[in-house]
Amino acid sequence: MAGNLSRRELLAAIGLAGTAVALNAGEAAADQLDPRPTTIDRSRLWWVKESDKPTTEIDWQQMKRFDETKTTRKGMPLYVGADKAKEIADLNTRTPLEAEQEQRPGYTTKDIALKEATNAGRVPMSFLGPNKATTPKDRGVPMYEGTPEENTQIVTAALRHMGAATVGVVELDSNTEKLIYSIDSDGKAIVFEDVEVGSEDEKKRVLPKKARWVIVYTIQMSTETMRRSPTMLGSQTTTLTYTRHTQIQAQLQEFLRALGYHGYGEASTNALGIAPAFGVLAGLGELSRLNRLVTPEYGPMVRVFKMVTDLPLAPTKPIDAGILEFCKNCKKCAEACPSKSLSFDREPTWETKGGWNSPGHKAWFEDSTSCRAYWAAVGTNCGICFASCPYAKSDLASVHTLVKATASATPIFDGMFRKLDDVFYDDFKDPEEWWRQNLPEMGIDTTQGHKK
Amino acid sequence: MQFLLIGLALGLLITVLVQFLNKNSIQLRWYEWLLVGVGVFLIVFNIDTFVYSRAELEPKAANLSLLFLGLPGLIFVVLGLRLAYSRAKSRASKDTMAA
């Protein structure tokens, strides 16, 4: 072949090959030379559009601060009666023991051991924080001061370094204050007072009115692990994430303290305020059919957390990534749910399903009592709806970006994408195989959703 | 790295193809170029999907992509080239008969 090439053809071949090399090298060089943005990096995914309003419709006039003890976490007896609630709780205890006796896949002794392990090492969670870090005053220097944009950027950088996935900010005003629980998970009231520093006693937690900003952040769960739902093996990625959160929250509180500010955190899991709501308003994702946050980067495979602070921050805008719109056609989570607790309505509605829901926004409200009852039947926090979500994907193959970007631009292919998801992907996998997969640390790709 | 190699291979293949077409005086019409172009895109996209789906621990998606992307890509390329080749061969026959 080479012998038949004319000089012109040889030069053309070299040119084409050189172009290929140059394009690849140029891309690599561009990554090296391109300075990291000094403003808030909200362009994490090019196809995600920022919006002044969230895709969830909210009636702030109707919304009131919610009593967290009314959720089914503690409030099951209110809805099913004390006897039934006890029966469900006993079943929840019995099920994993029986499953381990039978060595059911996902409930074998090693799976249970892993669940026990990922629950260990939790750092005590507190509203006020460990308060051990030195303050600027202790160190004889002025407290840190930056512009709100700079502050949001450094908080984002710090949180990412500590192990958070995505970070956003909501500013508290007369509307968004309603997303802070009126009564916290342990029965303490949360009140706003005109004080310099927050405080806590046996009856209440005090948020200073000057603490106007809520840092909202996600921590990634392992999609591959959650594919083993609803077994103990699948559920422990949730456990691990909550364990990691205890450390990240304490570190964030200490970071703020060492800057000269305060961070008012969650005193226990899912405390302080409505996490999915803050996540939506901070632009970390959209509300979905499974009535939780679905993020563009990880789908629902995150846990969402929040911290109130007096460090001035620049709020981050809600997003429109076509996710809520996709949910209208998809319904995969509702179909996968064994207890049929999720809504099959095409459109989200203002009507809540029960006292466990906070009214004042349009959502696909779920039957939380049947959902919790199913948790007891499997002895875990299930996760089937999470695992079945088409947005729960890695980002290595370009096809995911193509599908998500197209869904973000137009809903006309959503039905087809849902069907292709059914054909191409198995939502649930063999628990035994997990132990041989050699997954990365914590079962997650920490570069996912970010510049690589 | 693999995409650098794919880029080099593609460059080489395009050169060989153009050389072949020129040598045999085959001109592609716009729709034939479109078929070949779409076919090549599908094949390259399939390589991405196959390789990275396996990296994502999704072998089923990887294997199915060969059927949904790779095979149509191959068909488009062959069809585009075949159409051009048939037309060139037919013209050559007519020229021979006229002579």
Provide the residue type at A169 as one letter: V
Answer whether residue A43 shows pLDDT above 60: no
pLDDT at B28: 84
Answer whether residue A104 shows pLDDT above 90: yes
Tell if the CB–CB gap between B45 and A24 is shorter than 8 Å.
Answer: no
- pLDDT, chain B, mean: 89
B-chain CB neighbours of A23 within 8 Å are 7
**Stretch B32-56: mean pLDDT:** 94
pLDDT at A451: 65
Answer whether residue A103 shows pLDDT above 70: yes
Answer whether residue B85 shows pLDDT above 90: no
- As beta bridge partners, residue A305 has A217
Q: Closest-CA residue in chain B for A397? A: B52
pLDDT at A6: 75
**Stretch B12-26: mean pLDDT:** 84
Asked if residue A230 has a cis previous peptide bond (ω within 30° of 0), the answer is yes
Distance (Å, whole) CA A48 – CA A63:
28
pLDDT at B19: 87
Substitution target in B10, B56, B60 with the highest count of A β-carbons within 10 Å is B56
A371 and A382 Cβ atoms separated by less than 8 Å: yes
User: From the list B11, B15, B61, which residue is nearest A9 (CB)?
Assistant: B15
B-chain CB neighbours of A424 within 8 Å are 58, 60-61, 64-65
pLDDT at B99: 66
pLDDT at B13: 85
- As beta bridge partners, residue A167 has A217
Answer whether residue A27 shows pLDDT above 70: no
Centre a 10 Å sphere on the Cβ of residue B63 and count the other Cβ atoms it contains: 13
pLDDT at A11: 74
pLDDT at A5: 65
Distance (Å, whole) CA A302 – CA A292:
10
Distance (Å, whole) CA A318 – CA A308:
18
Q: Closest-CA residue in chain B for A439? A: B57
Tell if the CB–CB gap between A437 and B57 is shorter than 8 Å.
Answer: yes
Answer whether residue B17 shows pLDDT above 90: no
Lowest mean pLDDT among A97-111, A130-144, A228-242, B27-41: B27-41
Tokens of A355: 């006292």
Distance (Å, whole) CA A390 – CA A427:
9
Better-scored residue on pLDDT, B61 or B98: B61
Q: How much is the pTM?
A: 0.90
d(CA A309, nearest CA chain B) in Å: 38
- 3-state SS class at A367: coil
Give the tens place of pLDDT for each residue, A139-149.
999 999 999 99
**Stretch A229-254: mean pLDDT:** 97
A29 pLDDT band, cuts 50/70/90, is low
ipTM over 0.90: no
Residue A349 touches partner B, C-beta closer than 8 Å: no
Tell if the CB–CB gap between B3 and A24 is shorter than 8 Å.
Answer: yes
A375 and A368 Cβ atoms separated by less than 8 Å: no
B-chain CB neighbours of A423 within 8 Å are 64
In chain A, pLDDT over 70 holds for what percent of residues? 91
Tokens of B81: 């080239």
Distance (Å, whole) CA B86 – CA A116:
69
- pLDDT, chain A, mean: 93
B-chain CB neighbours of A398 within 8 Å are 45, 48-49, 52
B-chain CB neighbours of A396 within 8 Å are 52-53, 55-56
Give the tens place of pLDDT for each residue, A182-239.
999 999 999 999 999 999 999 999 999 999 999 999 999 999 999 999 999 999 999 9
pLDDT at A36: 45
d(CA B39, nearest CA chain A) in Å: 17
Is residue A363 classed exposed, middle or buried when 0-12, 13-18 and 19+ CB atoms within 10 A define those classes? buried
A-chain CB neighbours of B73 within 8 Å are none
Nearest by Cα to A244 from A223, A277, A218, A265 = A218
Residue A23 touches partner B, C-beta closer than 8 Å: yes
- 3-state SS class at A124: coil
DSSP A149-217: HHHHHHHHHHHHHHT-S-EEEEE--TTGGGGB-SB-TTS-EEEEES-SS-EE-SSEEEEETT--EEEEE
Better-scored residue on pLDDT, A33 or A272: A272
Answer whether residue B60 shows pLDDT above 70: yes
**Stretch A352-372: mean pLDDT:** 97
pLDDT at A145: 96
pLDDT at A2: 47
pLDDT at B79: 94
**Stretch A161-184: mean pLDDT:** 97
Residues 6+ apart with CB under 8 A from A91: A376, A377, A379
Substitution target in A27, A393, A424 with the highest count of B β-carbons within 10 Å is A424
Q: Between A and B, how many CB-CB pairs are < 8 A?
A: 68
B7 pLDDT band, cuts 50/70/90, is confident
pLDDT at A18: 67
A368 and A356 Cβ atoms separated by less than 8 Å: yes
Better-scored residue on pLDDT, A17 or B75: B75
Tell if the CB–CB gap between A425 and B60 is shorter than 8 Å.
Answer: yes
The sign of the CA dihedral B36, A418, A224, A303 is positive
B90 pLDDT band, cuts 50/70/90, is confident
| Angle value at C-alpha A178, between A50 and A312, nearest 5 degrees | 60
User: From the list B7, B23, B53, which residue is nearest A20 (CB)?
Assistant: B7
Alpha helices in A340-397 (DSSP H): 368-378, 384-388
Distance (Å, whole) CA A321 – CA A282:
14
pLDDT at A265: 98
Residue A16 touches partner B, C-beta closer than 8 Å: yes
Distance (Å, whole) CA A181 – CA A271:
8
Give the tens place of pLDDT for each residue, A60-84.
999 999 999 999 999 999 999 999 9
Beta strands in A251-328 (DSSP E): 263-264, 286-287, 293-294, 302-309, 319-320
Distance (Å, whole) CA A144 – CA A147:
10
Lowest mean pLDDT among A35-39, A338-342, A437-441: A35-39
Radius of gyration for chain A, computed over Cα atoms and rounded to the nearest angstrom:
24
Tell if the CB–CB gap between A397 and B48 is shorter than 8 Å.
Answer: yes
**Contact map slice: A 207-236 vs B, CB within 8 A:** 224
**Stretch B34-54: mean pLDDT:** 95
